[in-house]
Amino acid sequence: MNTEEGGADMGVGTGSDAQGALDDQAIGWLVRVQSDAATADDWAALAAWLEGSQSRLAAFERAEALAADLDEQAWAIRAALQATGTTVVPFRPRSPRPTKPMWAAAAAACLVAAVVAGPLVWTSYRGTPQDYRTERGQTLQVALADGTHITLDSASSLSVRLGWRARQVSLGEGQASFDVAKDVRRPFVIAVGDQRVRVVGTEFDISHFGRAIVISVRRGVVEVRQPALGGKPIARLVRGESLAHDEGAATSVTRAVDPDLAFAWTQGRLVCNDQPLPELVAYLNRRFSTPIRLSERAAKRRFTGVLMIGDENDTVRRLAAFLSLHIERSRTGIVLD
């Protein structure tokens, strides 16, 4: 199948004929790189072809969308192929556009074959999800295949999908620091709450506890979007900047931070600046197995300082000493008063 790795877009004429010829090329590229025989040179050639024009990229995205439809309907397609009668498998409605019967037939034939013969090919193209989770008191060092390094804090979870065109991460409850390997062809995108964080290669930290999201940057540039507010970035953070956001809110707050202090938790230090004690104790309860509670009086206190996080008993003693609090122990946990 001729994919024309360089040069002008194939096809003659204008309008639907030219688009149809370009769609033929895009289908050829998609089938080629999904093949088990695809090499790194094939992917590099595709990247060069896509960079040739926006129309090529649009054609390739149309091919991807059709492949995604076929992937979702694979079970129905197989059933229809095995049935003796005639079965119509509907796809999701799309906006009307000029079509080319021969292109449609070729696309369907190639992609149905790919779905029926190798449904894992498309999953491989998008990247296989990898899930990571830590328990209380546990941290985890994650080294991704692209060279990115992630430190996952206690009681945290994230999912990673390294696809060819994008590296996608979903951070659930918890905290993680990221040192992202630079790859301009594959942006690194993190979904956290109602925010989308996009980078190419940088170092930053994200915490997501309850509805509170905090993003702090130590190196590079981090772009933050909030899809509910539109497609434009709501902030571009650089070294020494942090963004605080509550899920569902229409605004976020950007402020200056010491980037090294934002990463202090990775070395077992918790740096607090006038932090309400209930928030600090909530964090400690995610790290330790014995519940820590506050009396009504202690719950009104705030803490500024550096708290070393180690053994739970030692940590609680240090915190109590800082604030002149009394420690009460029982079968149900620890109370600070």
DSSP string, 97-124: ----HHHHHHHHHHHHHHHHH-THHHHH
CA distance 144 to 157: 15
Domains and their CATH numbers in the chain: 16-126 (no CATH), 130-259 (2.60.120.1440), 268-336 (3.55.50.30)
Q: Which of 100-114, 139-153, 176-190 has the lowest mean pLDDT?
A: 100-114
- Residues 73 and 89: beta-carbon distance below 8 Å: yes
**What pLDDT score was predicted for residue 128?**
82
| Average pLDDT rounded to a whole number, residues 33-40 | 62
Question: Contact 196/226 with Cβ under 8 angstroms?
Answer: yes
pLDDT band at 117 (very low <50, low <70, confident <90, very high): very low
Between 164 and 161, the more confident residue is 161
Q: Distance between CA 98 and CA 92 in Å, rounded?
A: 17
d(CA 320, CA 244): 28
With cut-offs at 50, 70 and 90, classify the pLDDT of residue 337: very high
Q: What is the pLDDT of residue 103?
A: 46
Q: Which of 71, 73, 59 is nearest to 30 (CA)?
A: 59
CA distance 282 to 280: 5
Report the candidate in 105, 112, 106 with the shortest Cα–Cα distance to residue 69: 112
252-296 tens-digit pLDDT:
999 998 888 889 999 888 888 888 999 899 989 988 989 999 999
pLDDT at site 141: 95
Is 0.85 surpassed by the pTM of this model? no
pLDDT of 318 > 70? The answer is yes
Give the pLDDT score at 99. 46
The pLDDT value given to residue 271: 87
What pLDDT is stored for residue 15 in this prediction? 61
Asked if the model's pLDDT at residue 184 lies above 70, the reply is yes
β-pairing, 269-276 with 333-336? unpaired
Asked if pLDDT for residue 155 goes beyond 50, the answer is yes
Q: Which of 96-105, 122-131, 148-157, 224-233 has the highest mean pLDDT?
A: 148-157
| Residue 7 reports pLDDT greater than 60 | no
Q: Which two tokens stand for residue 236?
A: 């571009």
Residue 87, helix vs strand vs coil = coil
In this prediction, residue 94 carries a pLDDT of 55
C-alpha span between 140 and 150 (Å, rounded)? 8
- pLDDT > 90 in the chain, percent: 42
